[in-house]
Structure 1
Amino acid sequence: MRILVLEDDPFIASDLQAILEDDGHEVVGVFTSLAETYEHLDDGFDYALLDIDVVGGKSFGVASALAERDIPFAFVSASQPGDLPSSLCRVAFIPKPFEERTILQSISDTYSC
């Protein structure tokens, strides 16, 4: 699968990229800011992992844009699930610190029959 990552901590971004690539996924981009991510929303990817608090603010606008495009995604964040706006409260939420299997499970849950 082709996956976009929005994460402004370089160590976490590197971990996510390694987890995804080790599992055979292609990371189409690891972005650190909202502006950068908005520029790549039409790059043809299948899934996204979004930190909530990134350079430029919160990623809720990116999440809404993905939902409008029917691109599945999960939040990977140290924020609390209760911090999500009601329109996004049903989105997968992976708390930091995360486990590798939780990241991969979020992807397989989205694409399983």
Structure 2
Amino acid sequence: MSVSDQISVQLPYLRRYARALTGSQHSGDAYVRATLEAALADQELRKAIANSRAALYGAFTRIWSTGHVEEADSPGGAGLHENAAQSRLATIAPTHRQALLLTTVEEFSREETAEILDVTPDDVDALVAQAIAEIEGESTTDVLIIEDEPLISMQLEGLVSDLGHTVIGTAATHAQALELFERARAGLVLADIQLADGSSGIEAVEDLLKFGDVPVIFITAYPERLLTGERPEPTYLVTKPFQEATVRAAISQALFFGSSRPL
């Protein structure tokens, strides 16, 4: 396998991480492009990230830490959630959130996470603990679950409730999702991609967003299909089968950027 092919395999997952970290597909993809440009200009870096997923994320982290990446104008302009994300991003130093996302959503070990963040494994433990404590202190919201598998739906309901949020309803189809959302507007949506009647969870969410901007987390067994960087795509993605810690981290990140409360 060529170097470019090896890197290409990891790109969808780096896009997932970058979008979750920035709260924006547009900004996240811009940092990923900057990482690839750095690799193109540095043969040693290119070799390193071709042989190590952690090295790829480490290169991204170094670029992310500079905070200086030129972004092209977003097609169609930024939504309310994206604007809120950028405002929030400008005031934080989210190392603890990086540690949580790396160890949960991206499933790196504490040693790999330490390499990526250039800290010690003990530092990683402390950072993750800080992020978890922050989650426990977050404001609660109403959540709509769009999922056609009853067992997964019940698992998500329990997880959301354990975090202190209120589930306003669960929908197995596009029509049910719209009906529930019209009845009670949610502050967060968890959505499967393929629904019971063959309808699309993505299309259901697009219709929900016509009523107002709300953070959405998509849950899918095939995240790479929605992480090409070639079209408007989800900001938050969780892979099935999922760990509860992964969903908790994604919920926290989505609500963090959607929150207007003071830091």
1:35 aligned to 2:178?
A: no
1:49 aligned to 2:49?
A: no
CA–CA distance in structure 2, aligned partners of residues 36 and 77 of structure 1: 19
2:180 aligns to what SS in structure 1? Answer: coil
Q: Which runs of 5+ in 1 are unaligned?
A: none
In structure 1, give the amino acid aligned to 2:189: A
1:60 aligned to 2:193?
A: no
- TM superposition shift of 1:83: 4.2
- Runs of 4 or more, structure 1, over 6 Å off, are none
Aligned residues: 112
* Larger deviation, residues 58-67 vs 92-101: 58-67
- TM superposition shift of 1:108: 1.3
Give CA-to-partner distance per residue, 1:35-79, whole Å, 9 cap, x none. 111112231210000000002321121222344421111101113
1:80 aligned to 2:189?
A: no
Higher relative contact order (CA 8 A, sep 6+): 1
1:54 aligns to what SS in structure 2? Answer: coil
State whether residues 49 and 75 of structure 1, in contact with CA within 8 Å, keep that contact through their aligned partners in structure 2.
yes
TM-score, with length taken from structure 1: 0.87
* Larger deviation, residues 65-74 vs 46-55: 65-74
1:10 aligned to 2:153?
A: no
In structure 2, give the amino acid aligned to 1:109: Q
Give CA-to-partner distance per residue, 1:53-110, whole Å, 9 cap, x none. 00232112122234442111110111333247822x2421100011111111112112
CA–CA distance in structure 2, aligned partners of residues 37 and 66 of structure 1: 8
TM-score, with length taken from structure 2: 0.40
State whether residues 51 and 76 of structure 1, in contact with CA within 8 Å, keep that contact through their aligned partners in structure 2.
yes
CA–CA distance in structure 2, aligned partners of residues 80 and 110 of structure 1: 17
